Amino acid sequence: MSSSVSIFYTIFMLLSLALLLIFTCEVKAKICDSPSRTWSGPCIRDSVCNTTCIDAEYSNYGACGGYGFDCICFFKC
């Protein structure tokens, strides 16, 4: 009886660990940003940068930001 309880407890601990790992991975798989390689000039309009990132760099979306007026593309990573 007590051994079946400890097996149940072990399985429960392993499941908790697995869940923890899954959540950790999901947190890691968030959006990464990188300055656009194809962008030149100041980034004034988010929509233009967004379109450039999506069309030219297969990015999820883009927005103005970073240092100065860079166009930053956002990727899933």
**Footprint on this chain of ligand NAG (rule: CB under 6 A):** 46-47, 50, 54, 61, 63
HSE-CB for 25 with a 13 A CA cutoff: 6
**Rounded CA separation 61/73 (Å):** 6
Phi (first) and psi of residue 58, to 5 degrees: 50, 35
| Minimum CB distance to ligand NAG, residue 74 (Å) | 8
Name the CA dihedral angle for 67, 47, 33, 36, rounded to a multiple of 10 degrees: -70
Residue showing the smallest CB distance to ligand NAG in the complex: 50
Query: Least distance from C-beta 49 to ligand NAG, angstroms?
Result: 9
The minimum distance between CB 62 and ligand NAG, in angstroms, equals: 7
Q: Please, which residue, 22 or 65, has the CB nearer to ligand NAG?
A: 65
